[in-house]
Chain A
Amino acid sequence: MNDFLCTDEFLTKIVNEYSDTIYRIAFNITKNPDDAFDVCQDVYVRLIKNKHKIKNEEHLKSWLLRAAINCAKSNCTQAYKRHSVGISDVKESDLAQNDKHDSLVYLLMKLPEKYRTIIHLFYYEDMKIAEIAKLLGITQSAVKSRLSRGREKLKIILEKENYYG
């Protein structure tokens, strides 16, 4: 696996196969397309540095997802990021009138990160509860609880935003 990790073929393959996955989970956490792209770059540079740790293809995807979540969270905790206006802040001001932000994806952004990440992994990446628990380093009951609570909170948001019409 490690020999293959050095080839151009491999680099092209992981960009083509995984970059959108990384970008989506990063966008889910950062709520900002530019930041999400920064995270992608960070993740791939880290991969090159840590390639000796990759055991197989399955481990590669798992590693990339975990790295994306870690990097995206780090990105959000950078102080200067907190001072900027995010998508949800603009919406929050009740001044934005853009149909794009009435989509389910954008309404989901109103949830705290700990709920929306799990919802994304469960519903978009089709990961199992046990897999999410392992990936995030939390218990399966915590995953179930956040999934359930996240859906409840999202339901309230969708109703208030008149999502169902």
Chain B
Amino acid sequence: MADEFDSKTYKNEYDNIRLTQNQKNILLTKMKEAEINAIKADSKSEKALDVFYNVWMRAVAVTLAVALIGAAAYFCFNNNPNNSRKNSFSFVVNAAETGENTEIGSSEIGFSSGMSTSGFALKNFTDSGVEIYLNKQGKRDYFINYELTNLYVVGENIDTVTFTANKNYTYFVLYPGNTNEEEFDIPQWVNSNFTEVQPLSNSQYSKEELDEHGDGMYGVFCDGFTYKNKNTAAGKQRISMDKIAQLVIETDRTDNEIDKWMEQFCKASDKNLEYKVQRYHETGGVGGGEITDAEKKNEQIMQENLDKIVKKTLENATVDVTVKFKDGTEDKKSIMIGYEKTEDGYYWMTAKLA
């Protein structure tokens, strides 16, 4: 087996990929800091380290995502008179950076969408290394995904929570990223909390195409999923949905208007890639050099076109949320997903009861 691969050359080359002593010192410092915080936390609460860690992670996210965390929302709906008094569920979306819950009224439910310019294109690895994978119309598609940022399902006696997307070109990607520390040391793409993953039919691509051309790193695509609550503790429970599932918006290239916006997006994106490569040559490294005004303008064009694409794709889009309680009863509501411009000029994902 090893004869077919030049493992000696590979090893020799990879031996040169290593950390500097300075980087190792940084690692050591980070670990000691974490250790000290852990000791401090133990004296107060066993949960405190999670707070430290979450704050640290959020700080990194805030630095990189730049003002992408939006409104916080709270909504409680469990008005089924047939349910027992203890059966209840609600949604809570934390104000991510403050750690405080903010109530914004009973008619809204919050998904706070952070990543308004996020997305990826499928790639073809088979023909000549790496190329953009084209759809049936021979066009490039783009996938924008939105975190259910800090979305928590809160309630009592919850057995499972099922999310189902009901419109073409909107679906979920499951990220069993094991942010739950208790499950961290199980493999990345295995998360025993998902008891059911609905087949994908809302995409113009098959599951096989997405698996093959998504580089194996984008999780599991599906129309919906059921999340098993394994917490058996009495009283109110909180199920964190952030980072385990995201809503995906796919461009529909059979729609003439979206097609036109996508063309403009691709044109600006390609141009920026050229600029980045140019800077790569000039500075000798990826990401080097200052971003030019021309690049900023292209970023703006990309953002504006993406906003239009997402807004149109989400017209009349709904997501069903069904909670099954441990006594077998269910409560179900539909959420209308929207995309609206806020006072600060940015588009954010919104969600209201249907």
**Does the CB pair B31–A93 fall under 8 Å?**
no
Counting CB contacts under 8 A, is B120 at the interface? yes
Chain B residues near A82 (CB-CB < 8 A):
118-120
Q: Which secondary structure dominates chain A's binding surface?
A: helix
Which residue of B125, B178, B189 contacts A110 across the interface (Cβ within 8 Å)?
B125
- Known A67-B184, A70-B178, A95-B277; contact A86-B286, beta-carbon cutoff 8 A: yes
| Complex alpha-carbon distance, A111 and B10, angstroms | 15
| Complex alpha-carbon distance, A20 and B145, angstroms | 33
Q: Which residues of chain A (4-35) have a CB below 8 Å from chain B? A: 6, 8, 11-12, 15-16, 19-20, 23-24, 27, 29, 32, 34
Chain B residues near A61 (CB-CB < 8 A):
none
Which residue of B5, B6, B27, B280 contacts A40 across the interface (Cβ within 8 Å)?
B27
Chain B residues near A153 (CB-CB < 8 A):
125-126
**Does the CB pair B184–A44 fall under 8 Å?**
no
**Does the CB pair B276–A105 fall under 8 Å?**
no
- Known A20-B19, A27-B17; contact A85-B185, beta-carbon cutoff 8 A: no
**Does the CB pair B219–A53 fall under 8 Å?**
no
Q: How far is the CB of B179 from chain A (nearest CB, A)?
A: 8
Which residue of B19, B178, B217 contacts A77 across the interface (Cβ within 8 Å)?
B217
| Complex alpha-carbon distance, A48 and B49, angstroms | 10
Chain A residues near B190 (CB-CB < 8 A):
137
Closest to A41 in B: B30
Q: Which residues of chain B (80-137) have a CB below 8 Å from chain A? A: 114-115, 117-120, 123, 125-126, 128-131
Chain B residues near A155 (CB-CB < 8 A):
4
**Does the CB pair A105–B30 fall under 8 Å?**
no
**Does the CB pair A15–B28 fall under 8 Å?**
yes
| Complex alpha-carbon distance, A151 and B117, angstroms | 35
A/B pair count, beta carbons within 8 Å? 182
| Complex alpha-carbon distance, A111 and B287, angstroms | 22
- Known A63-B185, A83-B118; contact A157-B129, beta-carbon cutoff 8 A: yes
**Does the CB pair B28–A105 fall under 8 Å?**
no
Counting CB contacts under 8 A, is B79 at the interface? no
- Known A104-B9, A123-B2; contact A80-B28, beta-carbon cutoff 8 A: no
- Known A90-B277, A90-B286; contact A108-B10, beta-carbon cutoff 8 A: yes
Which residue of B19, B38, B177, B276 contacts A23 across the interface (Cβ within 8 Å)?
B19
Chain B residues near A105 (CB-CB < 8 A):
10, 13-14, 17
Q: Which residues of chain A (103-119) have a CB below 8 Å from chain B? A: 103-105, 108, 110-114, 119
Chain B residues near A90 (CB-CB < 8 A):
276-277, 280, 286
Counting CB contacts under 8 A, is B53 at the interface? yes
B-side residues, CB < 8 A to A, are 1-2, 4-7, 9-11, 13-14, 17-19, 23-24, 26-28, 30-32, 34-35, 38, 49, 53, 56, 64-65, 114-115, 117-120, 123, 125-126, 128-131, 145, 147, 175, 177-178, 181, 184-190, 215-219, 273-274, 276-278, 280-281, 286-287
Apart from A49-B38, A74-B177, A113-B215, 15 more pairs, CB < 8 Å: A40-B19, A46-B181, A48-B35, A53-B185, A69-B188, A76-B217, A77-B219, A79-B147, A92-B131, A93-B273, A93-B277, A104-B9, A112-B125, A124-B7, A160-B129
10 closest Cβ contacts across the A-B interface?
A79-B118, A137-B187, A114-B216, A79-B115, A48-B34, A123-B7, A110-B129, A82-B120, A70-B188, A95-B277
* Pairs A–B under 8 Å by Cβ, sample size 18: A11-B32, A15-B27, A15-B31, A19-B24, A44-B30, A45-B53, A47-B31, A49-B181, A70-B178, A83-B118, A85-B277, A93-B277, A103-B13, A104-B10, A110-B129, A111-B125, A137-B186, A137-B189
